[in-house]
Structure 1
Amino acid sequence: MGVNQKNQDGQNRDGTSSARERLQAQRIKEKSRARRVRQAVVGGAVVAALAVAGGVAVWVSSGGGSGSTAETAFALPKKASDGNKPAVPVGAPGAHSTLVVWEDFRCPACQQFETGFRPVIHQLQDSGQLKVEYHLATLIDGNAGGSGSLNAGNAALCAQDAGKFRDYHDVLYSHQPPEQQDRFSDKKYLIQLAGKVGGLASPAFTKCVNDGRYDAFVRKSNEAFTSAGFRGTPTVLLNGKDLAQVQGGRVTPAELKKMVLEANKGKQPGKG
């Protein structure tokens, strides 16, 4: 074998080795990133748990939704607020801190947020430290097609009439179908899930779901979301401050609790 051939073989081996090393380094980097995301999900950090390419993982809207409504009046669930930004309140009305949550029951990022923060939010609600205003959006219906966001939102409002919004809300997220599916469009399935909430399944709930009694309420809420200029769900604000803008969005459940308790320091817990 000549010198030139040897040099060429050496260069080929070096090139192959270099490419292999680069590929291995990239795989290690990707595995490391995936591990960090998994760890953050377990820890429940807002952005770290939902981090995608360095940003907040939200289901971004390209406009639209489950139709629109021009009604100035619409059916109102018990204790829900109307106006331009209809919402469902959960927690003691007299609580000094308010968490505003814009969400879509088909939204995977919303499900991740709810899973990570649910225990702390429930604790703060039950202790009179926090009230939560839930605003429903239908982004995925508008972007991916279907009616699951609308139908699930209506069903949750039907549960509000029975005083079971929070419990049914949590059941919906615990049984959220894959993003590509639209199982929440099946009203029979939504009625079936009511059986997982004590005292909710009833002829009144079934009729409310089947009639779409609160569809206009959900559509109005989605219009409010679009008009507000929010970029995606979940959008979460504590006492008016967007948590995505706090610490780069890296707010853990423990830190949320600390923020609420500091804001409420020296004040009596709210009472229902």
Structure 2
Amino acid sequence: MGPGRHARASPVRLRIVSEKNREGKRAARDRLAQEREQQKARDKRRRALIVVSAVVGVLGLAAIAGVIAANAGGDKKDTSGPVVPPAGASGEDKLVIPVGKDSAKSTLTVWEDFRCPACASFEAQYSPTINELAEKGQLKVEYRLATIIDGNMGGTGSVNAGNAAACAQDAGKFTAYHDVLYKNQPEETDDAFGKDSRLLELAKEVEGLDSADFKKCVEDGTHASWVNKSNDAFRAGKFTGTPTVLLDGKNIFADQKNPLTPEQLKKQVEEAAE
């Protein structure tokens, strides 16, 4: 090739270069399309997660709001007024509701909250034996009230049911009304006992309790401050929860794997009474 002249690319070479360029552009377009599809998929997943998170958040708030709403309709009592113990109350500051004869050789102390599910389970299992031993004069029972579920879940059911039970004690009907409350205990998150109407309705199941005096005592919250003071004593005692059950001062549930059964309780009490 002479000087000053440029070499020309062959037609075959030009076709090859052109095809490579087209393939490169096509590959680039394919990659771009693929990346766009991947981005769309990521965006779709992200939007779905946002929606799910929002739904979960709303449901969570709804659940919380539901509990709050359920526990916001109770009849609130004044627990800052004078402390009025129920009739026959005993012990320090008269915070004990005694059942049974003072001459009984054995004493069972029971700390309970009327909204406490574990307390209802305890009563279902043990109350027939406890009532039998108390009626025989072999066991004295000291009922003491706590209101920890009101504190944990909100509402006034623990205080109001405790006040109503104290009103039943005034009428000489504590044991029967106490048992009716536990047999009709609502779900822990349901503050049904916060409503005077429900407590008065249940009183109709106890012969002779449905009276004007009982109604006034319940609605006025006559013993609400007393119930509150009893709960203060429960906290001061540093007990771990309800029910706390002591037989002659010994916690019969200290060993959760081997608690004292109703049969064992009966045997110990009957032996002590001999």
Q: TM-score, normalised by structure 1?
A: 0.70
SS in structure 1 of the partner of residue 208 of structure 2? coil
1:209 aligns with 2:218: yes
Contact 2:146/2:231 (<8 A) preserved: yes
CA drift of 1:68 comes to: 10
Residues 1:162 and 1:145: Cα distance change in structure 2 (over 3 Å) = same
- Please name the residue that 1:127 is paired with: 136
Deviation readout 1:98-141 (Å, 9 max, x if unpaired):
00000000000000000000111011001000010000000000
Residues 1:153 and 1:123: Cα distance change in structure 2 (over 3 Å) = same
Q: Which amino acid aligns with 1:103?
A: E
CA drift of 1:219 comes to: 0.4
SS in structure 1 of the partner of residue 204 of structure 2? helix
**How far apart, in 2, do the equivalents of 1:182 and 1:127 lie?**
36
- Please name the residue that 2:92 is paired with: 83
Superposed, which structure 2 residues align to 1:58-207 within 5 Å? 74-81=83-90, 83-84=92-93, 86-207=95-216
Q: Which amino acid aligns with 1:154?
A: N
Q: Which protein has greater RCO, CA pairs closer than 8 Å, 6+ apart?
A: 1
Contact 1:148/1:183 (<8 A) preserved: yes
Residues 1:181 and 1:93: Cα distance change in structure 2 (over 3 Å) = same
SS in structure 1 of the partner of residue 226 of structure 2? helix
**How far apart, in 2, do the equivalents of 1:250 and 1:190 lie?**
32
SS in structure 1 of the partner of residue 137 of structure 2? coil
Deviation readout 1:148-200 (Å, 9 max, x if unpaired):
00000000000001100000000000000011111000101100100000000
Q: Which amino acid aligns with 2:138?
A: Q
1:260 aligns with 2:269: yes
CA drift of 1:246 comes to: 5.1
Contact 2:78/2:224 (<8 A) preserved: no
Contact 2:78/2:221 (<8 A) preserved: no
Identity of aligned residues (%): 54
1:221 to 220, 225, 230: 230
Please tell me the root mean square deviation across aligned C-alpha atoms, in Å. Answer: 1.9
Superposed, which structure 2 residues align to 1:7-86 within 5 Å? 74-81=83-90, 83-84=92-93, 86=95
Residues 1:187 and 1:70: Cα distance change in structure 2 (over 3 Å) = closer
Q: Which amino acid aligns with 1:253?
A: P
**How far apart, in 2, do the equivalents of 1:190 and 1:259 lie?**
36
SS in structure 1 of the partner of residue 202 of structure 2? helix
SS in structure 2 of the partner of residue 233 of structure 1? coil
Q: TM-score, normalised by structure 2?
A: 0.69
Q: Which amino acid aligns with 1:165?
A: F
May I ask how many residue pairs the two structures share in their alignment?
199
The structure with the largest alpha-carbon Rg is 2
CA drift of 1:249 comes to: 4.1
Gaps of at least 5 residues in structure 2 are 1-75
SS in structure 2 of the partner of residue 258 of structure 1? helix
CA drift of 1:250 comes to: 2.3
